[in-house]
């Protein structure tokens, strides 16, 4: 039998042995329903619960993705322009929201798809592996979620970054130009470098977040509130963002080069950057990136957990109404 959720363990400690069996059973069922979608939940689920977890992950992920992208898009634009600049090019501070609308079209399904895949895969792996391998479950689930979302993320990222660097003034114009000049492959320019950056990033960030959150919950013996989730998310995002900055620079250069094909691949891009600009160029934009992802992690995980909780709170009402209808 799989281990119960952390929240259930804490809540059940308050149930006295003198309580009637029916009362205890009902209380346990309510706690399971209320906490089955918590980030450390590994309780038993039937196929319906799995599908519901998938659905709620899609809703929570899409909501969190849109909120954080809209709030922090200007910082992302500055980071992209810093990484794209060569030599002594000046930083342009106009049009910091250029490409936002088109980007949200991709961010919404990508974020929804990522969390929608991550949550059920994570819970499945947590049931399969012993507790001391929970970090491996989080790393694996993050990587799988990243692969699923990459099919939407990469075309969106290509269009967004070319608009941020001033190559196009509208998303529709960028899409038409890329399709006509570069074909379908143009929308997946830098796909390898994107996976090289995002798979480690997603896996590391979510693993750090989940592990710290689990430890905090064990120490506090309670569920965390939104500010606490946000602080943990900020730390996980900032740390992961700093570690993966060189990968982000490589990804940006490959995506914005267009049909010129200045770089022949990831290895050639690294060699060219180091040769022409020095090793320090691989850390371009690290400040805005850490700031952007740190604040973004705070907003994303805060909104994610609050949305998940709001969705989970609806479950007992639905169950109770169903039972009353049957009676």
Residues 6+ apart with CB under 8 A from 204: 139, 142, 240, 243, 244
Contact 210, 39 (CB under 8 A): yes
Residue 196, pLDDT score: 80
Q: What is the largest CA-CA distance in the chain?
A: 76
List the single range of 19-23, 101-105, 196-200 with lowest mean pLDDT.
19-23
Q: How far apart are CA 97 and CA 320, in angstroms?
A: 46
**CB atoms < 10 A from the CB of 20, how many?**
8
Q: Rounded to whole angstroms, what are the CA distances from 235 to 73, 232, 238, 290?
A: 20, 5, 5, 10
DSSP tag of 90: P
pTM of this structure: 0.67
Residue 317, pLDDT score: 55
Q: What is the pLDDT of residues 12-42, one digit of tens each?
A: 444 344 445 555 555 544 444 444 343 444 4
pLDDT at 257 over 80: no
Contact 172, 103 (CB under 8 A): no
């Amino acid at each position: 039998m799989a281990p119960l959720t952390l929240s259930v363990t804490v809540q059940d400690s308050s149930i006295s042995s003198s309580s009637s069996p029916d009362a205890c059973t009902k209380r346990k069922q309510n706690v399971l329903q209320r906490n089955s979608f918590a980030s450390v939940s590994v309780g038993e689920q039937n196929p319906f619960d799995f599908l519901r977890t998938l659905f709620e992950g899609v809703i929570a992920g899409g909501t969190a993705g849109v909120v954080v992208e809209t709030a922090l898009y200007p910082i992302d634009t500055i980071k992209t322009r810093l990484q794209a600049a060569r030599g002594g090019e000046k930083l342009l501070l106009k049009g910091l929201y250029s490409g936002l609308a088109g980007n949200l079209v991709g961010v919404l399904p990508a974020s929804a798809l990522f969390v929608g895949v991550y949550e059920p895969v994570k819970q499945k792996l947590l049931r399969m592996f012993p507790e001391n391998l929970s970090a491996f479950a989080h790393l694996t689930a993050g990587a799988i979620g990243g692969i699923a979302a990459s099919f939407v993320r990469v075309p969106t990222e290509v269009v967004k970054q070319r608009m941020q660097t001033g190559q196009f003034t509208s998303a529709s114009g960028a899409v038409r130009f890329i399709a006509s000049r570069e074909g379908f492959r143009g929308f997946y320019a830098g796909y390898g470098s994107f996976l090289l950056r995002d798979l480690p990033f997603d896996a590391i960030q979510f693993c750090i977040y989940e592990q710290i959150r689990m430890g905090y919950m064990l120490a506090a013996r309670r569920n965390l509130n939104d500010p606490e989730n946000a602080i943990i998310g900020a730390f996980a995002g900032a740390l992961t963002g700093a570690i993966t900055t060189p990968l982000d620079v490589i990804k940006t250069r490959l995506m914005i080069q267009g049909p010129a094909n200045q770089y022949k691949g990831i290895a050639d891009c690294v060699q060219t950057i180091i040769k022409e600009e020095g090793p320090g160029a691989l850390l371009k934009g690290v400040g805005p990136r850490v700031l952007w992802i740190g604040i973004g992690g705070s907003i994303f995980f805060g909104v994610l957990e609050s949305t998940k909780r709001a969705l989970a709170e609806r479950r007992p009402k639905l169950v109770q109404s169903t039972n009353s209808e049957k009676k």
